[in-house]
Structure 1
């Protein structure tokens, strides 16, 4: 961007405006992500956000101990501001800043004095011994195209104000002046001042190499952006085509259903007509017999009531014969018909299931490559399983929520409601709350097809039963021997210190597989924590004690062993890189800078046997377990005792040799006992809330919390780590 602006006359509008206040930069400061803002804007932004995020790219920023004032000044922007001011001052109508005259004459700019001078004052300025060597930029240079690149404000030493910064101490990584090389940075084993030009040349070569590396990466990203844009341009046409195909397909299905409906209604009409004709014929036949019998009845009755003896004798035989014939005649009086009705050859509920398979959205999802990770489940808690939808190349791929169906059954085949939520591209969270323990069945389908290994067996545990146990006694991969400090990195992996194996072992937090192992130095390894960069800090006491920082791969980076330290036990790392260590021999907690230097000692004279520490950074309160006092003490980071809680005993809220401690996101304090293995939760003020568990072996030696809401407890005598559902 700078190179682009170097030849632009409107650089001050495009480049010299703070993105926050939209005004010209005032004291511009550079964040680690290389975005620049006014110092005041960053100060105000920092008061609103913890942790601080860059207002432009949202990268999380760890400020130096001095806060915003500790950030580097953007001197390139300052130079451009100076240049803009000098160029404006050199225009006609602007007076000399020395004699306040010569409005129309040409001007020059002194980089040392930061003033604009007319020709006369410039000549005098160059004659004075104190300013004859100053760097003066002429009006011609200011107006020239390359003027900005030659325009630089001189930097002077903060300690020796009149001396310009001319050297760079490579050991201290600091810019120094000539006086500094004599006083504070004298050449020797501790200091190595080198001329700035020499170091800058090497740095420029390094940056030039980086620039060359950036170009292919930029092209790769730009190509990727174009590919995304191409796909975005195809998105609406693809939607319209799929919509058209869907409508045509289902219109055809609807047409078939309507045709079938018409056929069945026609069958009903035809059957009704046929049955009606048959019934009409039957009715006519029966009515014919009815008429004959009724007529004979009437004739016979009239003969009896009104006929004379002579008449009776004349027709009697005929009537008798007719009636007897009618009475003895065999008649089929049954209708031989029953009501017809519609028959559902396919039940609606069954058809509803089949309808779900009538078509679908074909994407690049390869169901055979989709993965489901079932996390430990506990009765009564919200539990989750994670689905990753994959494409044919085995990479996470986005699909729509309608393409995914989930179904869970408890051991009694009752439905357990599930909810589906997209976390990010291709990653989904299936949540549910099991009401009973036992093996549940979770079915997961994508595009109506079963995901590999679906349905999954989900073991739901009781509340105080570990949902997952990792490790057993031994020294092999996946085995543990005397696990102590435990921590969880940002990916949810679990790192545990093994006292007797003298190593750190990292486990997958979901299934418990061992991911990596690295040996650690020190006689008696104890605590572990991970900093914001994913580096491990491990403590050890006894012989060769200290704090050691290891890379993610387990390489030793550096060792901290300040004079104030004697017996480091538990450790916690704050977001800004500061460390708090419980020192059992010092009987105090040490608040240390990121470089290991002491800020202050906390709890001296009040603690007897501090073991583990945890900090509630929202309140700047430090909690430390005192093994001998059977208590937890709370101090502010200035070293003042806030309160304590606990006391020896077996009842709720009492403790037996409290060992490990952890503060959750809500500020609740979790404490594990070495004396009886109980793990208890206390409120922000130390009030007992609940008991979570009693661990294997009766010795809770380390506590950590996973991002998914599980509590990890190291079991020293059980030689394992247990995962309990915490929230």
Structure 2
């Protein structure tokens, strides 16, 4: 059925009532909806005709409701009847004329009644009359008409938005819940529970201003995205060019090696064939002698098989030939010729084709405001004339150590080299060391092994949530400091045994007191130090007031050493009540992250300065500072966790080099304890067990990543570390 469309009464629309009758269906008495023409030329709605076919005696015949003439419906149904396009066009023309007449200049209805044509400036919605200024004043002063809603035609024309449903009425309100624009008539049909706001010029201008501002922001964001896409395109092109050159170098090197191998193959095959020719001559002499004897044997058998004596006596020469052969000396005894074997020299049994090494730049390229200037500077830095000196992160180069290609020697009765052979040459020297930390293997002769790994993230027991530190307890348990709690694990089975102070702390550093074996925690949330019982989780004491507490270490005499990253200082406190014993505010500290102690030395990792600094615990002076490790790694890169060993060495978690390195107290590099080849990544905290070779390592890369960062806790068995284990009183933070 056609949907009802109500037009409010007004003097201007009163003359169109007869026209509306023409546009109404005689069945549903509503405006036509998809009108179809019968054979009698009367038109009806499509839905009305469908209903008539269903209710009638026959679905193939329709009786016209007006003239009663029967129309035969084609087999497809009512949809095959022709459309009344003229009626649709007539309705659209009438609607446009009505709208144009409404928008044209109006005369005051009161003045027209007095035969006076005055331009109307107002419209009374209740009276449906147009009013001039004078009549509007009289209309408003009348007590019975004062409550009527009067609309200014000038303001309506300024807004110039007409209702899409009620064509003659301007939009005056906005429904907040529906975000719909309504006219006065729409308000009567709308949900009365919804709140409406009357539209005025200030509201429209304010919304336009907001849209303009957000459009500017979107344009800036769009320009930044375009600039980044251009930058990525340039980088991608350089990477592709770099890849093509590397692949070409690989193919060229491998082709040369393959060519040399083929030459060696042909040479060895030819040499082996020559050695075989030395034994062919003896074999040929024996073959000739064998053929002659077999021929004589055949003749003798023929003579012996003859029945007459004359035949036997007539072959005297045959006997002479046989005697001659028997008297002939054979070429000599058969000697076993030497076997030919292939032997590779131990110094050249491997072909070193080369290795890929990564040359790091200054880090990731960040876009900053103004983005256009930043992008232009980056693009200029990426120009071909400057890439010779500026290498971006991810740029690779191919190195080919000058190792000789494998050659082989042959000789008599040569066997493969054995372990017991005293003449076995020394093994080949190692190739040139790569420049990337990802390619450097541990220098220790014995490899570390992973005993336990905790990497499942989450808040449930047994899972970790952004760990920052971990230490061993004397009870062979492992305490992991997480985002807002401490969790105790079995250090052997990885089973979660208990959770301490859930939601009550936000740890930054973790240490263990050697006096009473209580946990000492620096808290980022409360900016203090809390002492906790590891068995129950009870808070035993709270002391201190810090700006950015981070690292903590506890000495055997009951002193707590704490680093403050905000105040850039190191303080020594009494563990019992937090009394400040010493305060070292050194201008050489930029971001003191972690701390450890050995004898009278305080060891601090300065992550911002990429240094490890040794401070005198008596006067606070910096005795030494180091960051150069030598070898392929070069400098320290964001050193985080540190701890000291009983023999005075320092273990440093070199975070961005993905390794744990050992140094002496004078800054001399000793060795790499763990590297990326041992499966570590972003080490941020470490702790050694006192009486074993076990090292616990916390891996964390949470900068800007939140829960999606890299978090992991691992326990390693590092051979030979028992003698260099950290005392429990020297346990440190992350």
What TM-score, normalized to structure 1? 0.34
Structure of higher CA gyration radius: 2
Q: Which has the higher contact order (CA 8 A, sep 6+)?
A: 2
TM superposition score normalised by structure 2:
0.34
